[in-house]
């Protein structure tokens, strides 16, 4: 109830009468009054005026909570339900446990802080409170296991598009570094970790965990040269809940397009428009062979197409291969 009332007040931006809320939600005046009181206790500034009703005052968007996220996420299934934790070891760890217990597709695990956040190849992901966005979504796609890696690219695209929506006038400064790093100013904003439970030809579930650097912060020395935050890069104060809701809307759209063909054919052009590597020189760091070339886009399977000096085209599969720019991270 609280989330529904909050969403209605935010949508209207004006006074809404208690009577209208009663009719809209099919509840009593007492239930509305109690929900409004609880929202006020949680820090929402709501003005009450006799014969006019209730109005949400402009919000200080710092706090992230279950109620706030539920009031903002307008999707059909992506990001529903929200499972919110002030502190947790890892959203991916929690999501896998929930998936094993039968949690539905779209379930979203969000934390204000992680005590054991993880990145690719077992790296630690520093996750302080009140600073960034940490979430994991549970999926149950009817696809072959070897196609799951493409879902990481789907999420990368969705995060970038969600950021563009929030930044509006500065959206042209958000890019994707293949396969799924969201970057700006040559530095990394986002980390994505996808894990799955599968048999040889069947996927039980997939969890995609995302960490987004939002607030301006002091990064650890070993990543300082390649990490950046949204607030620091764009001199803005990003609303974390609104950004996450925008990402869920983009992800639902992109995931459904992906599932129509079970490949990237319907969203490839959207991805390539944001691909910072496209038509630029890259160095492919393959354990078997390092080589340079020009990135020409991606295949329908999400592989990076690299044109070598001799004009041969190589399709690079993400896996354990890394791609860097010739003169820096991107």
pLDDT at 199: 93
| Domains of the chain and CATH, by start | 2-56 (1.10.10.10), 66-274 (3.30.930.10), 281-325 (2.30.30.100)
For 73, the token pair is 């996420």
Distance CA 54, CA 234 (A): 34
Mean per-residue pLDDT over the chain, rounded = 88
**pTM of the complete model beyond 0.75:** yes
Task: Work out whether the CA dihedral 131, 137, 143, 146 comes out positive or negative.
Answer: positive
Long-range pairs, 174-177, Cβ under 8 A, ≥24: 174/274, 175/274, 175/275, 175/276, 175/330, 176/271, 176/274, 176/275, 176/276, 177/276, 177/277, 177/323, 177/329, 177/330
Of the candidates 141, 131, 150, the residue with the CA atom closest to the CA atom of residue 214: 131
Residue 47: pLDDT band (50, 70, 90) is: confident
**Model confidence over 222-257: pLDDT tens digits?**
777 889 999 989 988 889 999 999 999 999 999 999
pLDDT at 224: 77
Residue 320: pLDDT band (50, 70, 90) is: low
CB 304 within 8 A of CB 178: yes
Residues paired with 111 in a beta bridge? 85, 134
Residue 104, pLDDT above cutoff 70: yes
CB 207 within 8 A of CB 136: yes
Distance CA 307, CA 213 (A): 33
pLDDT at 123: 57
């Amino acid at each position: 109830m609280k989330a529904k009332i909050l969403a209605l007040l935010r949508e209207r931006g004006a006074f809404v009468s208690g009577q209208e809320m009663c009719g809209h939600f099919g509840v009593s005046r007492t239930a509305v009054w109690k929900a409004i009181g609880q929202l006020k206790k949680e820090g929402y500034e709501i003005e009450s005026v006799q014969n006019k009703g209730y109005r949400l005052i402009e919000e200080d968007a710092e706090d992230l909570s279950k109620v706030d996220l539920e009031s903002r996420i307008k999707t059909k299934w992506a990001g529903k339900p929200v499972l919110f934790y002030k502190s947790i070891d890892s959203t991916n760890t929690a999501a896998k446990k929930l998936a094993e217990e039968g949690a539905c597709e779209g379930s979203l695990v969000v934390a204000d802080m992680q005590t054991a956040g993880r990145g690719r190849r077992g790296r630690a992901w520093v996750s302080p409170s009140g600073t960034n966005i940490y979430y994991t979504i549970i999926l149950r796609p009817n696809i072959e296991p070897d196609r799951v890696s493409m879902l990481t690219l789907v999420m990368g695209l969705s995060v970038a598009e969600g950021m563009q929506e929030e930044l509006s006038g500065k959206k042209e400064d958000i890019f994707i570094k293949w396969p799924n790093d969201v970057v700006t100013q040559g530095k990394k904003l986002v980390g994505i970790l996808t894990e799955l439970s599968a048999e040889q030809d069947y996927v039980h579930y997939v969890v995609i965990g995302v960490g987004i650097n939002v607030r301006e912060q002091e990064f650890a020395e070993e990543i300082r040269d390649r990490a950046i935050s949204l607030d620091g890069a764009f001199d803005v104060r990003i609303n974390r809940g609104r950004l996450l809701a925008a990402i869920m809307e983009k992800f639902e759209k992109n995931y459904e397009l992906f599932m129509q063909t079970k490949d990237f054919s319907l969203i490839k052009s959207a991805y390539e428009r944001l691909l910072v590597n496209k038509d630029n020189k890259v160095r492919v760091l393959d354990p078997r062979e390092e080589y340079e070339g020009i990135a020409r886009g991606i295949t329908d399977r999400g592989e990076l197409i690299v044109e070598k000096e001799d004009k041969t085209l190589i399709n690079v599969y993400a896996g354990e291969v890394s791609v860097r720019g010739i003169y820096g991270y991107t």
